[in-house]
Amino acid sequence: MIAYITLLKVIANKGTILSGTSILHHTRRLLIVAGTVMLTAFLLSANIHPVHAQLSRAAPEAPTGQATRPAAPVRSQMVVAAHPLAARAARQMLRDGGTAIDAAIAAQMVLNLVEPQSSGIGGGGFLLYWDAFQQQLLTVDGRETAPAEAGPDRFLNDDGTPIRWPDAVGTGRSIGVPGIVPMLEAVHGEFGRIEWGELFAPAIDLASNGFGVSPRLNLLLTGMGPDAFNEDARNYFFDNTGEARALGEVLKNPALARTLKQIATSGHRALRSGPIAKNIIAAASEPGVATITLNDLRAYESIQRRPVCVPYRSYSICGMGPPSSGGMTVGAILGLLEASDLGDQPNAAAIHMIIEAEKLSYADRNRYMADSDFVDVPAGLLDPDYLEERAQMIDPAQTMGRAEPGTPPDLETTPGTDASDENPGTSHISIIDQFGNAASLTTTIESAFGSRRMVSGFLLNNELTDFSFRPVDEGGRPVANRVEGGKRPRSSMSPTMVFDADGNLWAVLGSPGGSRIILYVVKALVAMIDWNMDPQAASALGTFGSRNGPAELEHGADMDRFASELEALGHEIARPSMTSGLHIIRVTPDGLLGGVDPRREGAAIGD
């Protein structure tokens, strides 16, 4: 073992960059010209949708082109993250002898800067951590909480009707108490090897000296326009004529550098007292609404939850339990498919079966899943007999249309029908270190640029819009995912790890994508396990699935070839953009293989 590690360390010094877009730092003008050329090349290579047409305020995390990147195995350690600079910062920590949690923290802080639309210290996330030394899996909940004084009518108009989502997102109503820094600090305390303060050095350096604005950041800003943002954000993201920062423009964020320096020194305490806390409270305030208080900031704690693991084929698939619906819903879908032969490559019959399993599982998810510290989430939803009975409802010859929720064995009270709306700003980081530890972190500020309110250099989330806006359904039954003080909104985030029959780590994966995250993760799992695809092919594969509505086939992707067969089975077909960000690492006998979602700007970097 020692010899093996030594060998890996030797290889580690050489290093391999598998993929990624690099934006050079130069003079402003040169960069803008170079940037325009790069953007054109990026889009031409894209094979994809008309980018500007895709951008709208209703769908803020639109696709910004596709690129395919090669996969090659590395021996020792790997990071897959949504931006090359974040992956590099993480790799630096791994090379310095850090663990997967050290690397994840460095990547997260850089992502806050270079992919500000998706995640950051103003948000929350869920982390799976595989501790190779103890051979144990931890699942940690760093989800935002509702302020203690928040009530079920938070998203209702005076007449009792729900507020429209666009009218809630950019307001103080939507902002939850951030959880990502407390969570990362807690896990680092147990598993970190590099000193906490050092993990912030790459992000502080980039925030102070600047980074090149990426195509995706530029396009999302252009699509959203300056009026969507508060003053701090507007001044940072737009020039004084209202133009979004140009592609390749070197952007510095001294306010974020200052904030990160304080967190590097004082940890999450920097966010719950002093000037940053004061700024958060002021930026989140909204007349007449119970918004974040100092007590809320001080009361926040991340929570270690029990992992949700289900058998699928010869593997064990492990994910995040409530308040995320991810682990349980992915588990239920796979449980319903366990007895089905899905063939050895993508095919219409298998896609039909998967869609039907998804409909049944989303019906249950929508009714039963929420923060289990507040409502009773029936564990029977994953009971093998219950799933076998539900699987009988799947007809290979025709669609069931819309599925109804079932009655799991341990049900105590039936909650009302949910009406929450989730819109696409999230990022997924997968890491395996030289010791065999792994991190699967899905991190978010909810929709693109969160609440669009910037404070001390970072954006505050709009996570509370993941609650059901209606506290009771039409029959007067309380909805499980209604707003309550201190509660965490239901999530779809599905950081996942797969273990083989001997209990060895086999894959690390996850994705952004709002309530479609579950579809993306199921697609990738089936692609790798049933269809034997490598992680790059699994991530790039055209997306399909259903959230108990129409059968969704990714716009412009090769899955459209299955449309007529699915229509013949009675499916109503929708062709939305499906902007996943599936970041995968597979452990193979030849080494670690990365999968980077071609729909975003990520990179897999390993040694």
Contact set with ligand DON (CB under 6 A): 61, 422, 424-426, 444, 446, 463, 466, 491-493, 512-514, 517
Report in angstroms the alpha-carbon separations of 563 from 349, 475, 555, 599. Answer: 11, 37, 11, 22
Question: How many Cβ atoms are within 10 Å of 15's Cβ, its own excluded?
Answer: 14
Which CB atom, from 192 or from 513, has the smaller least distance to ligand DON? 513
Written in H, E and C, the secondary structure of 232-281 is: HHHHHHECCCCCECCCCCEECCHHHHHHHHHHHHHHHHHHCCHHHHHHHH
Residue 276 exposed, middle or buried by CB count within 10 Å (0-12, 13-18, 19+): buried
Which CB atom, from 322 or from 424, has the smaller least distance to ligand DON? 424
| Least separation in angstroms between CB 496 and ligand DON | 14
Question: How many Cβ atoms are within 10 Å of 449's Cβ, its own excluded?
Answer: 30
| Least separation in angstroms between CB 386 and ligand DON | 24
The active-site residue out of 426, 442, 465, 579 is: 426
d(CA 292, CA 289): 10
Which CB atom, from 446 or from 601, has the smaller least distance to ligand DON? 446
Q: Are strands 551-553 and 573-574 parallel, antiparallel or unpaired?
A: parallel
DSSP at 445: -
DSSP string, 85-124: HHHHHHHHHHHTT--HHHHHHHHHHHHHHHSTTT--TTSE
Residue-level length of the chain: 607
Q: Nearest CA to 114 among 31, 25, 201, 211?
A: 211
Which CB atom, from 320 or from 528, has the smaller least distance to ligand DON? 320
Which CB atom, from 356 or from 446, has the smaller least distance to ligand DON? 446
Catalytic-residue membership of 426: yes
| Least separation in angstroms between CB 358 and ligand DON | 16
d(CA 46, CA 556): 11
| Least separation in angstroms between CB 325 and ligand DON | 8
| Least separation in angstroms between CB 434 and ligand DON | 30
d(CA 445, CA 148): 20
Which CB atom, from 128 or from 199, has the smaller least distance to ligand DON? 128
- Asked if 405 and 325 count as a contact pair (C-beta separation under 8 A), the reply is no
| Torsion sign, CA atoms 272, 276, 279, 283 | negative
406 backbone φψ class: left, alpha, beta (φ>0; ψ -120 to 50): beta
- Asked if 328 and 381 count as a contact pair (C-beta separation under 8 A), the reply is yes
Which CB atom, from 77 or from 496, has the smaller least distance to ligand DON? 496
| Least separation in angstroms between CB 336 and ligand DON | 21
> Which residues, in sequence order, are CB contacts of 546 under 8 Å at separation 6+?
355, 358, 359, 362, 519, 552
| Least separation in angstroms between CB 291 and ligand DON | 19
Quote the Cα angle for 440-442-444, to 5°: 160
| Least separation in angstroms between CB 89 and ligand DON | 22
| Least separation in angstroms between CB 450 and ligand DON | 10
Grouping H, G, I as helix, E, B as strand and the rest as coil, residue 132 is: coil
> Which residues, in sequence order, are CB contacts of 149 under 8 Å at separation 6+?
290, 293, 485
Which CB atom, from 54 or from 444, has the smaller least distance to ligand DON? 444
| Least separation in angstroms between CB 433 and ligand DON | 26
Which CB atom, from 269 or from 555, has the smaller least distance to ligand DON? 555
d(CA 194, CA 198): 7
| Least separation in angstroms between CB 333 and ligand DON | 16
Q: Are strands 124-131 and 426-432 parallel, antiparallel or unpaired?
A: unpaired
Residue 189 exposed, middle or buried by CB count within 10 Å (0-12, 13-18, 19+): exposed
Question: How many Cβ atoms are within 10 Å of 16's Cβ, its own excluded?
Answer: 16
Residue 486 exposed, middle or buried by CB count within 10 Å (0-12, 13-18, 19+): middle
Which CB atom, from 98 or from 142, has the smaller least distance to ligand DON? 142
Which CB atom, from 445 or from 566, has the smaller least distance to ligand DON? 445
d(CA 471, CA 173): 15
- Asked if 93 and 433 count as a contact pair (C-beta separation under 8 A), the reply is no
Q: Nearest CA to 477 among 395, 573, 570, 413?
A: 413
Q: Nearest CA to 593 among 82, 75, 103, 92?
A: 75
Per the listing, tokens 């590395």 go with: 74
| Least separation in angstroms between CB 112 and ligand DON | 16
Q: Which residues are catalytic?
A: 426
